Amino acid sequence: MAMSRVWREGVVTGLLGAGAVAGWFFVVDLIGGRPLYTPDMLGRALISVIGYTGTPTMAVAVTSYTLFHVAAFMAVGTVAIRLVEISRRAPHVTVGL
């Protein structure tokens, strides 16, 4: 498998995973009566870890966390697809997975 295909499949896998998790928490937050509560709180935590001492707006917190969330899922998806590709060529690697 060419590396471009690994990247493409990894990004798609990551986007699907990120969308599923984000959708789940959006529904949970809607049921709780506080839409976007989870990404808002996680975004504020992420921003505070980066070192920002002010209070970010909800839009900034949600956007920051969403960008981080999608990038992290795309990275994990790409690594997972790469490991699957390696295990196809060397089945003994599957045991380590």
Helix axis angle, 37-50 to 58-89, nearest 10°: 90
- 53: its two tokens: 């001492």
Q: What is the pTM of this model?
A: 0.83
Q: What is the pLDDT of residues 53-92, one digit of tens each?
A: 888 999 999 999 999 999 999 999 999 898 888 888 887 7
Three-class DSSP category at 54: coil
Helix axis angle, 37-50 to 3-31, nearest 10°: 120
Are 46 and 53 in contact, with CB atoms under 8 Å apart?
Answer: no
- Residue 1 confidence (pLDDT) above 60: no
- Residue 2 confidence (pLDDT) above 90: no
